Amino acid sequence: MFQDKLILRIPGPTPIPHRVQQAMNHPMIGHRSGQFSKLFADVAKRLKPFFGTTQDVYILAGSGTSALEMAVVNTVGAGDEVAVLVSGAFGERFAKICERYDITAHRLNVPWGEPIRGEQLEAFLAEHPQVKAVFATQCETSTGIINPIEELAQVVRAKSDALFIVDAVSCLGAVPMEMDAWGVDIAVTGSQKAFMLPTGLAFIAASERAWNVIDNRKPQAFYLDLKAYRKSLAEQTTPYTPAVSLIFGLEEVCNMLEEEGLENIFKRHELMRDMTRAAMKALGIPLMTADEFGSATVTSLDPQGKFDAEELRKILRTKYNMIVAGGQQHLKGKIFRIGHMGYCEPLDVITVISAIEMALKEMGVDIPFGEGVKKAQEVYINHV
């Protein structure tokens, strides 16, 4: 086996296309130069369609979590009440960020693997009429669930004056996000998922409603002051030192995504999801989520005692040089997760399924050998 030929199939970071790697090798330029200003303003503008907004998209040097924190500290503060929709590990992260700033976080918890529904949120808001913001996660990476953001946004708008703030880190760019049409006030994502870059950039956009709140608040942060980013973007720059090489890479990512087209990107990810889910069903491996809410970027599987998920991951890693993700928090060691986003195509999915079948055979697990690959092929070949 070629040790440098790692097959990375986790829900981020994701593989980096060769042409993006080459773009990041561009000779360094001054981050306050006219050349960089032109580059930066161009890529910021080109991000808007992925957010489904006419508002500006701001780019900061940091992980997705930095932008989650930015969304919190610019809209609410100590003593405020917020609603946090928790359907997995990353919904809980929003709550922890809020509580670090002495914000009262009311959690709407659902079992991991289930989505938050509109009627649940409506009842919750009736119990907590003072909330100033509702925080949600579009794709809950820990379970492979996609929450119905459009439905939830409608409830927030109809039943409260709260801002609706969405963590879309592990799916934006691979699934639809229509900030303006749906009524999302702030959306956040990161570079290392569907945007096919290394970790290190975060993107955030805010609605006019959100800006009305932000402009009337005293900034709680220095580096994460969103008003500073707005002021700098108007001058085609950043308030603090940008990650120049990643911006060169982002330009090439935009080229690639625009060449494919948004609708085709969405269809590709839906196809890979459908292939993966069909294959796992054929092999008798239980899915953690119902088809209706299965993520197009990551699929979570729960062996339920049929086999050891960690042993499977070990064989994939050591024998096939393939990495799939494990579980988080109380699911650690119990489940495994297959990432299928970004620089990934249907034939890559077939490779993953084939390796899983071989690893399970080696483990002595009774599976209909070859049926997973066959089912994935059928979904692929019949795809319109």
- 21-37 tens-digit pLDDT: 999 999 999 999 999 99
CATH number for the domain harbouring residue 218? 3.40.640.10
Average pLDDT, the chain: 97
- For the chain, how big is the Rg over CA atoms in Å? 21
Q: Is 376 within the bounds of a domain?
A: yes
The pLDDT tens digits of the residues spanning 246-290 come to 999 999 999 999 999 999 999 999 999 999 999 999 999 999 999
User: In terms of C-beta density within 10 A (0-12 exposed, 13-18 middle, 19 or more buried), how is residue 363 classed?
Assistant: middle
Which domain range does residue 326 map to?
A: 7-13+261-381
Concatenate the DSSP letters of all residues of 278-328 into one string.
HHHHHTTPPBSS-GGGB-SSEEEE--TTSS-HHHHHHHHHHHH-EEEEE--
Question: Is 318 in the same domain as 242?
Answer: no
Find how far residue 3's CA is from the centre of its chain.
28
pLDDT at res. 62: 97
Question: Is 79 in the same domain as 203?
Answer: yes
Task: Give residue 200's pLDDT band: very low, low, confident or very high (50, 70, 90).
Answer: very high
SS3 state of residue 148:
coil
Angle of helix 346-362 relative to helix 371-381, nearest 10 degrees, comes to: 170
In the predicted structure, residue 384 carries a pLDDT above the cut 80? no
337 is in an annotated binding site: yes
- Cα separation, 203 vs 188, in Å, equals 6
By the 8 A CB rule, do 140 and 88 touch?
yes
Q: Is 1 within the bounds of a domain?
A: no
Reference 138, options 104, 186, 196; nearest CA is 186
- Cα separation, 88 vs 110, in Å, equals 8
User: Where a domain ends, among 258, 289, 307?
Assistant: 258
In the predicted structure, residue 297 carries a pLDDT above the cut 90? yes
Question: Is 28 in the same domain as 137?
Answer: yes
Q: How many CB atoms within 10 Å of residue 290?
A: 11
Question: Is 44 in the same domain as 190?
Answer: yes
Reference 225, options 329, 71, 364, 18; nearest CA is 71
Q: Is 232 within the bounds of a domain?
A: yes
Question: Is 214 in the same domain as 326?
Answer: no
In the predicted structure, residue 242 carries a pLDDT above the cut 80? yes
SS3 state of residue 81:
strand
Helical ranges in 103-203 per DSSP H: 118-127, 149-159, 179-182
By the 8 A CB rule, do 58 and 233 touch?
yes
Domain count, the chain: 2
The pLDDT tens digits of the residues spanning 38-55 come to 999 999 999 999 999 999
User: Where a domain ends, among 228, 258, 288?
Assistant: 258
Question: Is 185 in the same domain as 278?
Answer: no
- Largest pairwise CA distance in the chain: 63
User: Where a domain ends, among 258, 283, 315?
Assistant: 258
Reference 189, options 383, 8, 30, 57; nearest CA is 57
Task: Give residue 1's pLDDT band: very low, low, confident or very high (50, 70, 90).
Answer: low
One-letter identity of residue 129: P
Question: Is 271 in the same domain as 223?
Answer: no
Question: Is 240 in the same domain as 358?
Answer: no
pTM over 0.85: yes
Question: Is 160 in the same domain as 191?
Answer: yes
Q: Is 241 within the bounds of a domain?
A: yes
pLDDT at res. 321: 96
By the 8 A CB rule, do 106 and 128 touch?
yes
Question: Is 286 in the same domain as 207?
Answer: no
* DSSP class of 27: P
Reference 338, options 276, 282, 265; nearest CA is 276
- CA separation (Å) from 195 to 83, 249, 250, 296? 29, 10, 8, 14
- Cα separation, 251 vs 42, in Å, equals 8
Per-residue tokens: 269: 């990810």
Q: Is 119 within the bounds of a domain?
A: yes
Find how far residue 301's CA is from the centre of its chain.
18
CATH number for the domain harbouring residue 366? 3.90.1150.10
Q: Is 305 within the bounds of a domain?
A: yes
Question: Is 346 in the same domain as 229?
Answer: no
Question: Is 288 in the same domain as 247?
Answer: no
Q: Is 253 left (phi over 0), alpha (psi -120 to 50) or beta?
A: alpha
Q: Is 350 within the bounds of a domain?
A: yes
Reference 194, options 17, 347, 327; nearest CA is 17
Task: Give residue 2's pLDDT band: very low, low, confident or very high (50, 70, 90).
Answer: confident
Q: Is 2 within the bounds of a domain?
A: no
